Amino acid sequence: MARYAVLIFEQETPNGVADIPPEVMRAHLDLPDRIAAEGGRVVAGLAFEPTSTSTSIRGDLVTDGPFVETKEALGGVFLIEARDLDHALALAALTPIVNGGVEVRPLVDFQVVEPS
């Protein structure tokens, strides 16, 4: 099965995760089971702290906060396994979204060779 990143974008709120309605948070926690029921697998799921906690590096310039201003912020990511892109898109559509969307990105599988 191929691996994909499902990037979750939402309108950022001052309290971050604390502002997510409880039913949406439960739906995020149930997502691995719903994806498994559709023949996929969640490899990992991560939520990000608010963009106010980020630090950006561009060349030798280091700044507090995100580099790009946007109405939606990257709030988290699920790494999933799916049969193909169409399957990954169907699985990603199960992601609960309040005011945003998801982006599906195929992952490159680099084979790391250990030194002998």
In 10 A of CB 17, how many CB atoms? 14
Output the pLDDT for position 68.
63
Distance of CA 99 to the CA centre of its chain: 15
Give me the mean pLDDT over the 81-93 stretch.
Answer: 97
Of 41, 108, 48, the closest CA to residue 77 belongs to 48
What pTM, to 2 d.p., does this model score?
0.83
How far is C-alpha 12 from the geometric centre of its chain's CA atoms? 14
Query: Mind listing the pLDDT tens digit for each residue in 12-46?
Result: 877 666 677 889 889 999 999 999 999 999 999 99
